[in-house]
Amino acid sequence: MLNRNRITSFRYDFKQIMEKYKIEASVATSVIASVTAKSSNISMQAAADYVDEQERAGVFSKEATDEIYDLLDRFSKLR
């Protein structure tokens, strides 16, 4: 699960990744919200699966996906 005490930092870092890979703002906002909700309410695996789906749909590159996986790992309660 996502460490909710650090959710603001998580969103900020996530937004930085989206900006680095030049993901359109409206798409980035939606992806960030979905990943935050899934990682907070369901599981980190559900969030990672969603990120993987978005990569296959062409929303972002493999490099962005790898950075998002690292971000999820850094902000999870269990490591």
Per-residue pLDDT tens listing for the chain (79 residues): 888 899 999 999 999 999 999 999 999 999 999 999 999 999 999 999 999 999 999 998 999 999 999 999 999 986 5
Report d(CA 46, CA 25) in Å as an integer: 23
**Residue 2's beta-bridge partner residues?**
76
Q: Give the pTM.
A: 0.90
CA separation (Å) from 19 to 3, 41, 45, 65?
23, 25, 24, 13
Sign of CA dihedral 17, 61, 32, 6: negative
Asked if residues 17 and 64 have their Cβ atoms less than 8 Å apart, the reply is: yes
